[in-house]
Amino acid sequence: MQLKQIKDGFQIIHNEQVLLNHTPNNPAFFVGIGYEKIETYRGNFNIQDQLVERIPLTHSQVGDDRVLLSYQQNTAPLLTLIFIPSDNGNAIISCKSENPDLNRFWIRLSVVESEKVWGCGEQMSYFNLRGRHFPLWTSEPGVGRDKTTEMTFLSDKYNQAGGDYYNTNYPQPTFVSSLHYACHVNSSAYADFDFRNPAYHELQIWEIPETIEFFTAPSFLDLVEKLSLRFGRQPKLPEWIYSGIILGLKGGEENTFSRLENAVKNGISVSGLWCEDWAGIRETSFGKRLFWDWKWSKKRYPNLDKRIQSLKEQNIRFLAYVSPYLCEDGELFPIAKEKSLFALDNTGEVALVDFGEFNCGVLDFTNKAAREWFKQEIIQKNMLDLGVSGWMADFGEYLPTDNLLLANGINSTIMHNAWPPLWASVNAEAVAERGLSGEIMYFMRAGFTGTQKYCPMLWAGDQCVDFSRHDGLNTVICGALSSGILGNAYHHSDIGGYTSLFGNRRTKEVFERWVDMATFTPMMRTHEGNRPDENFQFDHDANTIAHLARMVKVYKHLTPYLKHLSNEAHTKGYPVQRALFLHFENDLNTYDIQDQYLYGSELLVAPVHEANADEWKVYLPANETWVYVWDKQEVQGGQYITVPAPIGKPPLFYRKNSQWTELFNGIIEIQ
Amino acid sequence: MQLKQIKDGFQIIHNEQVLLNHTPNNPAFFVGIGYEKIETYRGNFNIQDQLVERIPLTHSQVGDDRVLLSYQQNTAPLLTLIFIPSDNGNAIISCKSENPDLNRFWIRLSVVESEKVWGCGEQMSYFNLRGRHFPLWTSEPGVGRDKTTEMTFLSDKYNQAGGDYYNTNYPQPTFVSSLHYACHVNSSAYADFDFRNPAYHELQIWEIPETIEFFTAPSFLDLVEKLSLRFGRQPKLPEWIYSGIILGLKGGEENTFSRLENAVKNGISVSGLWCEDWAGIRETSFGKRLFWDWKWSKKRYPNLDKRIQSLKEQNIRFLAYVSPYLCEDGELFPIAKEKSLFALDNTGEVALVDFGEFNCGVLDFTNKAAREWFKQEIIQKNMLDLGVSGWMADFGEYLPTDNLLLANGINSTIMHNAWPPLWASVNAEAVAERGLSGEIMYFMRAGFTGTQKYCPMLWAGDQCVDFSRHDGLNTVICGALSSGILGNAYHHSDIGGYTSLFGNRRTKEVFERWVDMATFTPMMRTHEGNRPDENFQFDHDANTIAHLARMVKVYKHLTPYLKHLSNEAHTKGYPVQRALFLHFENDLNTYDIQDQYLYGSELLVAPVHEANADEWKVYLPANETWVYVWDKQEVQGGQYITVPAPIGKPPLFYRKNSQWTELFNGIIEIQ
Candidates A153, A154, A159: best to mutate against B (most CBs of B within 10 A) is A153
| Greatest alpha-carbon span in chain A | 81
A534 among known catalytic residues: no
pLDDT at A429: 98
Pairing of strands A317-322, A270-274: parallel
Whether residues B393 and B257 share a domain: the answer is yes
Q: Number of A to B CB contacts under 8 A, please give it.
A: 47
Whether residues B257 and B124 share a domain: the answer is no
A161: closest CA of chain B, how far (Å): 13
Q: Is B71 on the interface with A (CB under 8 A)?
A: yes
What domain range includes position B182?
27-231
Q: State the pTM of this model.
A: 0.94
Please name the residue of chain B whose CA is at the shortest distance from the CA of residue A108.
B52
Give the CATH number for residue B297: 3.20.20.80
Q: Is B55 on the interface with A (CB under 8 A)?
A: yes
Residue B663's φ and ψ, nearest 5 degrees, are -60, -45
Helices (H), B14-161: 150-159
**Does A559 map to a domain?**
no
Of A446, A462, A487, which residue constitutes the final position of a domain? A446
SS3 A516: helix
As a three-state string, the secondary structure of A383-410 is HHHHCCCEEEECCCCCCCCCCCECCCCC
Mean pLDDT value of segment B476-482: 98
SS3 B61: strand
Length of chain B in terms of residues written: 671
Among residues A225, A394, A516, A539, the one annotated as catalytic is: A394
**Does A239 map to a domain?**
no
Whether residues B262 and B139 share a domain: the answer is no
Distances (CA, A) of A447 to A133, A173, A475: 19, 11, 17
pLDDT tens sequence across B195-225: 999 999 999 999 999 999 999 999 999 999 9
Closest CA to B332 of B295, B289, B367: B295
Cross-chain CB nearest to B51 (options A54, A157, A197)? A54
User: Taking CB atoms and an 8 Å cutoff, what residues of chain A touch B75?
Assistant: 71-72, 74-75
Q: Is B32 on the interface with A (CB under 8 A)?
A: yes
Tell me the ipTM for this assembly: 0.91
Q: Is B99 on the interface with A (CB under 8 A)?
A: no
Whether residues B211 and B274 share a domain: the answer is no
What letters, b where the CB count within 10 A reaches 16 and e where it falls short, cover A77-93?
bbbbbebebeeebbbbb
With cut-offs at 50, 70 and 90, classify the pLDDT of residue B284: confident
With cut-offs at 50, 70 and 90, classify the pLDDT of residue B647: very high
Please tell me the distance from the alpha carbon of residue B47 to that of residue B31, in angstroms, as a whole number. 20
Closest CA to A410 of A399, A395, A421, A397: A399
B391, B275 Cβ separation under 8 angstroms = no
Give the CATH number for residue A657: 2.60.40.1180
What letters, b where the CB count within 10 A reaches 16 and e where it falls short, cover B603-618?
bbbbbbbeeebeebeb
B330, B290 Cβ separation under 8 angstroms = no
**Does A83 map to a domain?**
yes
Please tell me the distance from the alpha carbon of residue A414 to that of residue A206, in angstroms, as a whole number. 9
pLDDT tens sequence across A369-428: 999 999 999 999 999 999 999 999 999 999 999 889 999 999 999 999 999 999 999 999
Closest CA to A489 of A548, A438, A432: A438
A394 among known catalytic residues: yes
The conformation of residue A222, written as its DSSP 8-state character, comes to: H
Please tell me the distance from the alpha carbon of residue A374 to that of residue A384, in angstroms, as a whole number. 12
pLDDT at A234: 97
Closest CA to A124 of A413, A610, A458: A458
Residues of B marked as catalytic:
394, 397, 462
pLDDT at A212: 98
A651, A605 Cβ separation under 8 angstroms = yes
pLDDT at B619: 98
B161, B141 Cβ separation under 8 angstroms = no
Indicate if the pLDDT at residue B401 is higher than 80: yes
Cβ-based neighbour number of residue A147 at 10 Å? 17
The number of C-alpha atoms within 13 Å of A134 and in the hemisphere containing its C-beta is 28
Please tell me the distance from the alpha carbon of residue B178 to that of residue B118, in angstroms, as a whole number. 8
Distances (CA, A) of A139 to A78, A151, A290, A395: 33, 18, 20, 9
User: Taking CB atoms and an 8 Å cutoff, what residues of chain B touch A148?
Assistant: 156-157
pLDDT at B403: 83
Of B446, B478, B513, which residue constitutes the final position of a domain? B446
Percent of chain B residues topping a pLDDT of 70 = 100
**Beta strands per DSSP E along B137-295:** 171-177, 181-186, 191-194, 200-205, 211-216, 245-248, 270-274, 281-284, 287-290
The total of structural domains in chain B comes to 3
Please tell me the distance from the alpha carbon of residue A125 to that of residue A313, in angstroms, as a whole number. 42
Indicate if the pLDDT at residue B74 is higher than 90: no
Q: Is A298 on the interface with B (CB under 8 A)?
A: no
Whether residues A214 and A332 share a domain: the answer is no
pLDDT tens sequence across B528-555: 999 999 999 999 999 999 999 999 999 9
Whether residues B184 and B83 share a domain: the answer is yes
Beta-carbon contacts of residue A83 (< 8 Å; ≥ 6 apart): A3, A12, A65, A66, A67, A91, A92, A93
**Does A11 map to a domain?**
no
Q: How many helices and strands (H and E) does chain B possess?
A: 14, 37
Beta-carbon contacts of residue A49 (< 8 Å; ≥ 6 apart): A34, A35, A36, A37, A206
The conformation of residue B165, written as its DSSP 8-state character, comes to: T
Cβ-based neighbour number of residue B433 at 10 Å? 15
Whether residues A176 and A255 share a domain: the answer is no
pLDDT at A75: 87
CB contact under 8 A, B30 and A50: no
Average pLDDT, chain B: 97
Indicate if the pLDDT at residue B491 is higher than 90: yes
**Does B236 map to a domain?**
no
pLDDT at A284: 84
Distances (CA, A) of A156 to A39, A139, A150, A556, B493: 14, 15, 10, 41, 33
Whether residues B212 and B279 share a domain: the answer is no
Whether residues A253 and A198 share a domain: the answer is no
pLDDT tens sequence across A511-566: 999 999 999 999 999 999 999 999 999 999 999 999 999 999 999 999 999 999 99
pLDDT at B337: 98
B415, B316 Cβ separation under 8 angstroms = no
Q: In the beta sheet, which residues pair with residue B445?
A: none
Whether residues A223 and A350 share a domain: the answer is no
**Does B462 map to a domain?**
no
Q: Is A25 on the interface with B (CB under 8 A)?
A: no
Please tell me the distance from the alpha carbon of residue A302 to that of residue A317, in angstroms, as a whole number. 18
Cross-chain CB nearest to B54 (options A53, A72, A76)? A53
Torsional class of B426: left (φ above 0), alpha (ψ -120 to 50), beta (otherwise): alpha
Beta-carbon contacts of residue A204 (< 8 Å; ≥ 6 apart): A104, A105, A106, A191, A192, A193, A194
Q: Is B588 on the interface with A (CB under 8 A)?
A: no
pLDDT at A72: 87
Pairing of strands B9-14, B17-22: antiparallel
What letters, b where the CB count within 10 A reaches 16 and e where it falls short, cover B551-586?
bbbbbbbbbebbebbbebbbeebbbbbbbbbbbbbe
**Beta strands per DSSP E along A28-166:** 29-41, 44-56, 59-62, 66-70, 79-85, 91-96, 104-110, 117-121, 133-136
Cross-chain CB nearest to A71 (options B52, B71, B148)? B71
Whether residues B73 and B174 share a domain: the answer is yes
Whether residues A255 and A129 share a domain: the answer is no
Give the containing element (helix H, strand E) for A282: strand A281-284
**Does A298 map to a domain?**
yes
**Does A480 map to a domain?**
no
**Beta strands per DSSP E along B405-548:** 441-443, 458-459, 491-492
Length of chain A in terms of residues written: 671
User: Taking CB atoms and an 8 Å cutoff, what residues of chain B touch A157?
Assistant: 148
As a three-state string, the secondary structure of B115-137 is CCEEEEECCCCCCCCCCCEEEEC
Mean pLDDT value of segment B328-356: 96
Helices (H), A353-488: 368-373, 412-415, 419-433, 451-454, 473-484
pLDDT at A74: 83
Of B231, B255, B285, which residue constitutes the final position of a domain? B231
Q: Which residues of chain A have pLDDT under 70?
A: none
Please tell me the distance from the alpha carbon of residue B430 to that of residue B388, in angstroms, as a whole number. 13
pLDDT at B73: 85
